[in-house]
Amino acid sequence: MTSPLVSVLIALLLSISSLIVVLVRVSPLTAPEFALPFFFAIVLIAVSSLAALLLVLAKSLLQKPPEGAAHGGHFFLSRAVLRSSLRQGMLFGVATCMVLLLFLLRIHNVWIAVLVYAVFILIEMAVGRE
């Protein structure tokens, strides 16, 4: 049985390889009905898994293990850390896809991107209160 952290790493590797295939092989000019949905789906998976993996590693390095924990190295495998990191990674992936969509629609602006990410940070702050 694989751990959730290994599953996130496998999802990251598969999504990056799929993103390369979509960017190299599928032309948005000849088949836009296939290229754009696959591009956004793969970008969502790639960004979400990368952000979740980086957040798990950052939380394991920056936070102290809870009191009474026998092994400090197993702190990054706790369910609460993985659950919050996956949720934050998914929100970051959705925000990134929204910014890319706004860029493709040519209504992108730096301030709009800042506002999109700020809205998703506020959503995470509201959801993350437990």
Q: Give this prediction's pTM.
A: 0.79
Identify the band that residue 129 occupies on the pLDDT scale cut at 50, 70 and 90.
confident
pLDDT tens-digit profile of 62-110?
Answer: 876 666 555 555 555 677 788 888 899 999 999 999 999 999 889 888 8
Do 56 and 81 contact (CB within 8 A), yes or no? yes
Contact at 8 Å (CB) between 52 and 86?
yes
Domain count, the chain: 1
Range of the domain at 90: 4-128
Between 108 and 121, residue with greater pLDDT = 121
